[in-house]
């Protein structure tokens, strides 16, 4: 028997089962359209969130190496060394052969960073014999005294103030000196371990300083901390730079992220109290600090050289 042809459903005709089929197909199509729109919207939202987190900061493509509130054990990224070191005297066991950058929240605790900040801000550190407290502000609900006078003597009132921790005019409390030495030693060991060098072959060097940045307009070019620079060029003796952050990005201040400026993409570090970043000081690590938009950012730059002639001792009790 010839197979019976089933009549093709008359999709086009109105009424009867066909009318129902037309309606349900129409419903199905509009459901699909909705689903597709929803899917596109969801993808766009997820895409926007991902880009907001990882990309598109002030200047093009940006990857965040260390997020705020993240507790980073250790992150180390090796990069090829620049030629910079060739034009300097080489010191076996110290001059970078391996270059790169690292960030860790596991070397210095938040409490230690807070104690250092307190030691500096609560006039236990005196400059030219003067106590520093001239104003009291709130930090996380706690009133703290800000070292306006000392810092403005050490720097300027144009947004970025620097306090050279090795200035002969500084009088440092025992508490600060001991804490600083201990923190410096642990950072030095971490750097030595990361770059495969001998910790005793590297020396603390100048300038090693405490910085305070806010959004006050720059008064001189020295206040313009946001320019891209290479530490070895800016400071000469540096071979390894480290930064110890003493306040929190997006809680204590806005803007002010540290940015490694790589060809094609930037890598940022969001400061947080106790976070240490460290890197070889040559042009493989061109960097800058974003402008601080609000609040106050505190950090300490601790730098090391391989040249014993450029070495200095820890700040001492005076």
Ligand X SMILES: O=C(O)CCC(=O)C(=O)O
Minimum Å distance from CB 183 to Fe ion?
Answer: 19
* Rounded-to-integer distance, Cα 137 and Cα 129, Å: 23
Q: Which is nearer to ligand X, 211 or 266 (CB)?
A: 211
**Alpha carbon 181 to chain centroid, angstroms:** 23
Minimum Å distance from CB 98 to ligand X?
Answer: 21
258 binds, among Fe ion, ligand X, none (CB under 5 to 8 A by kind): ligand X
Does 289 bind ligand X (CB under 6 A)? Our answer is: yes
Minimum Å distance from CB 258 to ligand X?
Answer: 4
Q: Which is nearer to ligand X, 188 or 285 (CB)?
A: 285
* Rounded-to-integer distance, Cα 210 and Cα 120, Å: 9
Does 258 bind ligand X (CB under 6 A)? Our answer is: yes
Does 301 bind ligand X (CB under 6 A)? Our answer is: yes
* Rounded-to-integer distance, Cα 74 and Cα 91, Å: 27
Minimum Å distance from CB 287 to Fe ion?
Answer: 6
* Rounded-to-integer distance, Cα 97 and Cα 196, Å: 9
Question: Scanning the structure block, which residue is given the tokens 């002030």?
Answer: 58
DSSP character string of 224-256: -TTS-B-HHHHHSS-SEEEEEE-S-BTTTEEE-
Minimum Å distance from CB 94 to ligand X?
Answer: 20
6 an active-site residue? no
Print the binding letters for residues 213-232 with Fe ion: x by CB under 5 A, - otherwise.
------------------x-
Q: Of the candidates 243, 276, 286, 302, which one interacts with ligand X according to CB under 6 A?
A: 243
| DSSP conformation class of 130 | B
Instruction: Tell me which residues in 215-234 interact with ligand X (CB under 6 A).
Output: 231
How big is the site for Fe ion, counted in residues (CB under 5 A)? Answer: 1
* Rounded-to-integer distance, Cα 8 and Cα 76, Å: 68
Q: Residue 157 burial by CB count (10 A; 0-12/13-18/19+): exposed, middle or buried? A: middle
Q: Name the helix (H) or strand (E) containing 1.
A: none
Q: Which is nearer to Fe ion, 104 or 242 (CB)?
A: 242
Does 204 bind ligand X (CB under 6 A)? Our answer is: no
Q: Which is nearer to Fe ion, 214 or 283 (CB)?
A: 283
Best CA proximity match to 116, nearest among 176, 184, 171:
176
Q: Which is nearer to Fe ion, 115 or 229 (CB)?
A: 229
Does 299 bind ligand X (CB under 6 A)? Our answer is: yes
How many Cβ atoms are within 10 Å of 29's Cβ, its own excluded?
10
Which active-site residues does the annotation give?
297
Residues near Fe ion (CB under 5 A): 231
Q: Residues in the site for ligand X, rule: CB under 6 A?
A: 211, 231, 243, 258, 287, 289, 299, 301
């Amino acid at each position: 028997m010839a197979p019976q042809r089933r009549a093709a459903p008359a999709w086009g005709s109105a009424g009867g089962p066909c009318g129902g089929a037309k309606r349900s197909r129409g419903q199905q199509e509009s459901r699909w359209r909705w689903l597709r729109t929803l899917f596109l919207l969801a993808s766009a939202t997820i895409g926007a969130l991902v880009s907001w987190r990882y990309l598109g900061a002030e200047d093009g493509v940006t990857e965040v190496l260390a997020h705020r509130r993240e507790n980073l054990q250790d992150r180390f990224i090796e990069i090829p060394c620049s030629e910079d070191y060739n034009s300097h005297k080489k010191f076996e066991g110290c001059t970078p052969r391996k270059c790169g950058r690292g960030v860790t929240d596991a070397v210095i605790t938040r409490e230690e960073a807070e104690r250092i900040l307190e030691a500096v801000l609560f006039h236990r550190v005196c400059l030219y014999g003067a106590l520093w407290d001239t104003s009291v502000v709130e930090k996380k609900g706690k009133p703290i005294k800000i070292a306006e006078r000392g810092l403005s003597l050490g720097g300027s009132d144009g947004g970025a103030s620097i306090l050279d921790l090795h200035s002969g005019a500084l009088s440092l409390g025992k508490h600060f000196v001991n804490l600083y030495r201990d923190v410096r030693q642990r950072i030095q060991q971490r750097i030595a371990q990361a770059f495969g060098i001998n910790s005793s072959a590297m020396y603390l060097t100048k300038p090693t300083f405490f910085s305070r940045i806010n959004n006050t307009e720059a008064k001189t070019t020295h206040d313009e901390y946001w320019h891209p620079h290479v530490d070895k060029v800016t400071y000469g003796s540096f071979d390894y730079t480290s930064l110890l952050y003493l306040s929190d990005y997006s809680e204590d201040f806005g803007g002010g992220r540290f940015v490694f400026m790589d060809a094609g993409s930037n890598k940022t570090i969001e400061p947080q109290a106790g976070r240490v970043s460290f890197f070889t000081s040559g042009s493989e690590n061109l960097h800058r600090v974003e402008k601080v938009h609000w609040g106050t950012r505190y950090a300490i730059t601790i730098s090391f050289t391989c040249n014993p002639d450029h070495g200095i001792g820890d700040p001492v009790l005076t």
